[in-house]
Structure 1
Amino acid sequence: MTTTLIPILSAIVAALVVLAVTPLAMRLARAVGALDHPSDRRIHREPTPRLGGLAILAGFLVPVLFFLPDDPAARALVVGAVLITMLGAIDDVWGLSPAVKFAGQAACAAIPVAAGLTIDHITLPVIGVGDLGVAQYPLTILWFVALVNMINFTDGMDGLASGITGLGATTFAILAASLGRADPAIMAAALAGACAAFLVYNFHPAKVFMGDAGSMLLGFVIAGVAVSGVMKSAAAIAVVAPLIILAIPILDTSFVILKRLKYGLPVYNADRSHFHHRFFTIGWSQRKTVLALYAWCALMGAAAITLRFVSYRDPDGSLDLGGTLVLGATALVAIAASVYLVYVLEILKWRSTPVVTLVRQSRFTRAGRREMVGR
């Protein structure tokens, strides 16, 4: 009962809190001047308040603090989430350099890591379990910082970061609950509910942006629940599932960084080479782009859930033909969809847009160095 009913209640409570608090966050943003103004890299056309992440934090905290047991690692993750939200809010209002933000993100990540929330082993299908030893500490901090910035990078279109994170959090909640891990299931469900409610204000045309306060919070919590809910288990999906669920931000960030390195540009420079920008450039509307990426994310989540609940072996160890066919078909559909979208975005886009234009555009934005600002 604990791993099923309480996560559902957490999601509902989080959603109700976000619906009530978001208008207050919008007023606060206007009062302190935390407005996102249109620019060459931005897609929106009107000044829009940031700090919506504060409402997401409130929605996340209420059920989590009420339902979570007194577990040091879980509490440390919540403390780190609060602090990284405050770091993002400061950046939304006054602006911080990339170096300061990276240092702050690492410091926040060190809090749950110090409390024992680490990737202490890796479980791989067929190979088995491998102990990471002391490498677990820097590796887990790197995982947190990477996810924080990957989600931040996706926050460039109305409803995109909140929708993708909400879908991913829902998948993690299902997996954690199925593995009997109540704490991460509660946190993932609360985050999913908060993200879903925030879309009421954030879906195109957005009335408010989450800002760095929100995107860094989402990345931090999703990194934590991935570790505590799935990666610390001995299940065969321990490593594979998070990579599948988070495929979109991982692929997006990887492509962007590789392109910038290829042309000798700083990786923290802002440009319009993210997936959502490329969809927009080839003529897709914001709604169509976001819904397509939602569908892609949902498909990857379904693949992860199928991997968890469908077995390719019978109890006696022999091959289960039906399960094998289901897993194979799911994998083929997920791979085909991913290859198709990457083809559309990477090949058609680069044929239609001269590389020199993108390089000039990136150099034009170098002075700002605002990749980490997000919304």
Structure 2
Amino acid sequence: MLLITAIVCFLASVALTPLVKKFAIYIGAVDKPNQRKVHQRVMPRLGGLAIFISMVIGFAIAQPFDDDIATWPILLGATIIVITGVFDDRFEISPKVKLLGQILAAGVVIYGGVQVESINLPLFEATIEFGIFTIPFTLLWIVGITNAINLIDGLDGLAAGVSSIVLITISAMAMVMGNTFVVVMGTILLASTLGFLIYNFHPAKIFMGDTGALLLGFMISVFSILGFKSITVYSLILPIIILGVPISDTLFAIIRRIVNKKPLSAPDKSHLHHCLLRLGFSHRQTVLIIYAMSAFFAIAAVMLSNSTLWGATLIIAVVLLVTQLVAERVGLVSENYRPVHKLFRKITASGRRSA
């Protein structure tokens, strides 16, 4: 039944995307080139609307109700996010209004019971209970991941592809854990996204816009909470690693703006995809490289879920080191920000002098 539902969602997305493209052009929901953007011509956006409608169709077929999960609040929150994205794609609303829509959507699912109540720290054999901070932390997580996916939506097929890899990983691990709801909803959203990706991969015929990027980020943030809520060892560590590409890109963007003494909300052209393009990679090569990075994080998460405590510690250390080295190599903060490379040089120089 799930396979049939996924096929229906995929075909619905394939059929709906050209219609959404015409609708976007008709209402003026288009993306115009500027100095921050890579594309050189006016492009229709709003493609996320096709993903959303296909997802709703899949939900109507599968009806993945669960007494313990706030199904309707999740769909209501997704609807609020999509409405926010549609208005932004058409009218380019202010960041404050956009944030308000995200907070409202997050508030709906939190009220429905989707909450991060604790974090497990396996190294210290301890659990941090959030208590009164449960709602603020959950809100921060949902809004943070929603915007992290939105930030990487800078190249044809990038956000859709990375989100698909994340959804595959979350759904597969949820299947192993017996979480039927996340498996069903994750598969439905994955199929809907892949149908859209046919038109969005380079050279793109339509952009997903904030409608799609915010929707994918919002749903992934919710799935990551529900999918790993029952894990007693790694809790929030697994989704953080699975979402390694958007989270690390966002964190380095924050560091970059602090180092360069710029406002955190200031836009720039120094995200991961911008840096790879500056290194000489083509548009398609850059997207495929970031896909590979996302797959690396996904594999690391799967290995982590099946590791011993010390094995998990080693995996996390390697992931952090590789992330830092890549960030320094591509100049994600700045060309001169290379603390780990400089440390290696000092150690190497010291070793030569000793010899």
TM-score tier by shorter-chain length is: 0.7 to 0.9
Query: Counterparts of 1:112 and 1:167 in 2: how far apart (Å)?
Result: 24
Corresponding residue for residue 51 of structure 1: 46
2:149 matches 1:151: yes
CA RMSD of aligned residues (A): 2.2
Give the TM-score normalised by the residue count of structure 2: 0.88
* Residue 330 of structure 1, CA deviation: 5.9
Q: How does 1:247-286 map to 2 (within 5 A)?
A: 247-286=244-283
Corresponding residue for residue 6 of structure 2: 11
2:85 matches 1:102: no
Query: Counterparts of 1:350 and 1:198 in 2: how far apart (Å)?
Result: 36
Corresponding residue for residue 312 of structure 1: 308
Corresponding residue for residue 27 of structure 2: 32
Tell me if the contact between 2:327 and 2:333 (Cα under 8 Å) persists in the aligned partners: no
Counterpart residue identity of residue 246, structure 2: P
Corresponding residue for residue 345 of structure 1: 330
CA deviation string 1:166-213 (max 9, x = no partner): 100111101111111111121222222222222110111110000000
* Residue 66 of structure 1, CA deviation: 2.7
Counterpart residue identity of residue 17, structure 1: A
Corresponding residue for residue 65 of structure 1: 60
Query: Counterparts of 2:242 and 2:304 in 1: how far apart (Å)?
Result: 11
Give the TM-score normalised by the residue count of structure 1: 0.83
1:201 is matched with which residue: 164, 175, 199? 199
* Residue 332 of structure 1, CA deviation: 7.3
Query: Counterparts of 1:340 and 1:261 in 2: how far apart (Å)?
Result: 19
* Residue 254 of structure 1, CA deviation: 1.1
Counterpart residue identity of residue 146, structure 1: G
Query: Counterparts of 1:280 and 1:14 in 2: how far apart (Å)?
Result: 33
Q: Which moved more, 1:343-352 or 1:195-204?
A: 343-352
2:89 matches 1:92: yes
Query: Counterparts of 1:84 and 1:258 in 2: how far apart (Å)?
Result: 27
2:218 is matched with which residue: 220, 223, 228? 220
Aligned CA distance change for structure 1 residues 267 and 275 (closer, same or farther; 3 Å): same
Q: Structure 2: any 5+ residue segments left out of the alignment?
A: 338-355
Aligned CA distance change for structure 1 residues 10 and 349 (closer, same or farther; 3 Å): farther
Identity over the aligned pairs, expressed in percent?
35
Equivalent position SS for 2:39? coil
* Residue 264 of structure 1, CA deviation: 2.8
Query: Counterparts of 1:164 and 1:29 in 2: how far apart (Å)?
Result: 24
Tell me if the contact between 2:115 and 2:135 (Cα under 8 Å) persists in the aligned partners: yes
Aligned CA distance change for structure 1 residues 135 and 351 (closer, same or farther; 3 Å): closer
Q: Structure 1: any 5+ residue segments left out of the alignment?
A: 314-318, 353-375
Tell me if the contact between 1:278 and 1:349 (Cα under 8 Å) persists in the aligned partners: no
Tell me if the contact between 1:51 and 1:89 (Cα under 8 Å) persists in the aligned partners: yes
* Residue 331 of structure 1, CA deviation: 5.7
Corresponding residue for residue 42 of structure 1: 37
Aligned CA distance change for structure 1 residues 19 and 347 (closer, same or farther; 3 Å): closer
Query: Counterparts of 1:240 and 1:174 in 2: how far apart (Å)?
Result: 17
CA deviation string 1:245-283 (max 9, x = no partner): 111111111111222123332222221010001111121
Tell me if the contact between 1:184 and 1:229 (Cα under 8 Å) persists in the aligned partners: yes
CA deviation string 1:191-238 (max 9, x = no partner): 2222222211011111000000000001100000000111x1133232
